[in-house]
Structure 1
Amino acid sequence: MLLDCVIVGGGPAGLNAALVLGRARRNVLLFDNNKPRNAVTHESHGFLTRDGVKPEQFRRIAHEEIMKYPSVRMKQATVTDIRHHGGGFEITAQSGERAAARKLILATGLREEFPPIAGFTQFYGRSLFNCPYCDGWELRDRPLVVVSEGANLFHSAMLIYNWSRNLLLCTNGRAVLSFDQKQALERKGLLVIEQPIAAFEGTDGQLEKVRFQDGSAVARAGGFVTPHWIQAAPFGARLGCATSELGGFVTDAFGRTNVKGVYAAGDTSVVAPSQLVIAAAEGSRAAIGVNGDLSFEEYTY
């Protein structure tokens, strides 16, 4: 059976795309490997009527709502290959199952690569985070550390200053701040340390101090670490989808990539800010693009 669309990725973007296409009476198969990037997240914020929702609760509600639409199927499986086939696409799962579709939505998201600092993993998702819009409120007015090895450190400092005025800014040994930027930060009373970080220290997931290579340490109660973002799956690159400077797929107003029939949604195309509500909206946008293009093709050919 030739499907109208296959969606690869079962996060908020893929799920919302499936919902919209189901309501449009499109035959859809969604592949989900059940390995969400937000597995360490306890709650998601910034989504009206769902502020504070637990990721597993969000997925359960989404699955229940999508299953009301009989033209949508969801398959827990890892996709291993996607190829152009007969004017559409052939998708192969690890189980050997194959599906053919006229359109393809990539909602596989991004993968975070953090600086290899000792102790980081025991605090990530508990007192160290990457998105102030997601977790800044919970860390408000605490002494925080902000770590970035990139040129966005200055921007991050200005942003996070809104939640806490007690900031330690770390470049982890990189020269990413200009002389003027350092002076501007110091005028705000912010501490800048450019030497490498030896370790994050604390107990039971609660950060207590940041230790540097010279043995010195600064007490902190939480903070934000900027990751390097890369595509979580290779399919878009293999199909020839163009990427932006930040690593996301370039799309138009309806999620279309430069490859005919391939759409991208969620973190796959919008690298930052990484929020539940934005990813879900991206899924809706791509689904509307798919349905509109299918309708046009069916009417004119």
Structure 2
Amino acid sequence: MENFDVIIIGGSYAGLSAAMTLGRSLRNVLVIDSGLPCNRQTPHSHNFLTRDGETPKAIATIAKEQVLQYPTVQFIEGIATNAQRLENGFEITTKTQQSFTAKKLIIASGIHDIHPDIKGFSESWGISVIHCPYCHGYEFRHQQTAIMANGERAAHLAMLVRNLTNQLTILSNGPAAFETDQLEKFGKHNISIIENKITTIQHVNGQVQHLVFEDGSIQPFDAVYAAIPFVQHSDIPSQLECELTEQGHIKTDSFQKTSVPDVFACGDSASPMRSVANAVYTGNMAGSMINAELCRELF
């Protein structure tokens, strides 16, 4: 068993950002990462200064190389499966039964998207079946676009995506659930609604070509925004009884502190803003605030 100041569960952008901040403060840090980031299928990352258009893997590789220049930071590939509260910290055990202890924890393990039972969805996810107009919308501007969502979530996305294309259709994938004022706005902007259930996404290497519906009809599209459910990627937050938001993110304050003392969370685990920029920012904040706590305890 090895002891650290901080263990970071998850070594993508948020976790690496926190590790850099802590490494620069001479903290002994262990990053445990599964090597399976949720954006591994996405061809290009956007809206992040100096790296716009890079592959997610390229950004993460550069980040890891830079973080590991700090000698007090260690990185292992593995899956943290168990967390136990100790008198003065935590014990984390991995899938391979390695055990480590630390005074503080950062959860940066992200979320796991639950894909619908639609043929071709998983193969297209992150490529042309997308989640965020800020991350992907510019590349599909002025193109035939669908929003796979219902109710308030669909209305919110429609408002944002309508700024990028006037060829917009809402796919409620069942009976539509909209208020009168929402329907009026859809009509004003020529946004149609298809209630038929989707059975298949026809694609070429993840690039959407057509959608096939339960009644046999086929519609051409270039991109599909999909609002789908998710769960936390790691069981550690539930084991530690971290409070979650109504949407399912780990609840944090403005300093990335969770409801559990000495546990912080950052990145997609703790925010609906799924972007590299936000992950880096929240990781930096979590690392800074943990270092401040450690300084305060020893000063």
TM over 0.5: yes
What's the counterpart of residue 282 of structure 2? 282
Residues 106 and 174 of structure 1: is their aligned pair in 2 closer, same or farther, counting only changes over 3 Å? Answer: farther
Provide the TM-score with structure 2 as the length reference. 0.96
**8 Å Cα contact 1:186/1:192 also seen in 2:** no
Cα offsets for 1:48-100 (capped at 9, x unmatched): 11111212211221111112211110111111111101220001112221111
Q: Which amino acid aligns with 1:125?
A: G
Structure 2, unmatched stretches of 5+, are none
Between 114-123 and 288-297, report the one with greater CA deviation: 114-123
Provide the TM-score with structure 1 as the length reference. 0.95
**8 Å Cα contact 1:172/1:194 also seen in 2:** yes
Pairwise CA RMSD: 1.4
Task: Report the identity percentage.
Answer: 34
Q: Which amino acid aligns with 1:117?
A: I
Between 50-59 and 160-169, report the one with greater CA deviation: 50-59
Q: What is the DSSP-based 3-state SS (H/G/I as helix, E as strand, rest coil) of the residue aligned with 1:296?
A: helix
What's the counterpart of residue 224 of structure 1? 225
What's the counterpart of residue 194 of structure 1? 195
Shift of 1:150: 5.0
Cα distance in 1 for residues equivalent to 2:242 and 2:179: 35
Q: Does 1:131 align with 2:124?
A: no
**8 Å Cα contact 2:150/2:178 also seen in 1:** no
Shift of 1:115: 2.4
Cα offsets for 1:106-159 (capped at 9, x unmatched): 001111113222221232233221111111011010011110145300010111
Q: Does 1:295 align with 2:295?
A: yes
Cα distance in 2 for residues equivalent to 1:205 and 1:292: 45
Count, aligned residues: 298
Cα distance in 2 for residues equivalent to 1:286 and 1:163: 34
**8 Å Cα contact 2:47/2:277 also seen in 1:** yes
Cα distance in 1 for residues equivalent to 2:198 and 2:64: 42
Cα distance in 2 for residues equivalent to 1:128 and 1:274: 15
Cα distance in 2 for residues equivalent to 1:236 and 1:89: 13
1:173-192 equivalences in 2 (<5 Å): 173-192=174-193
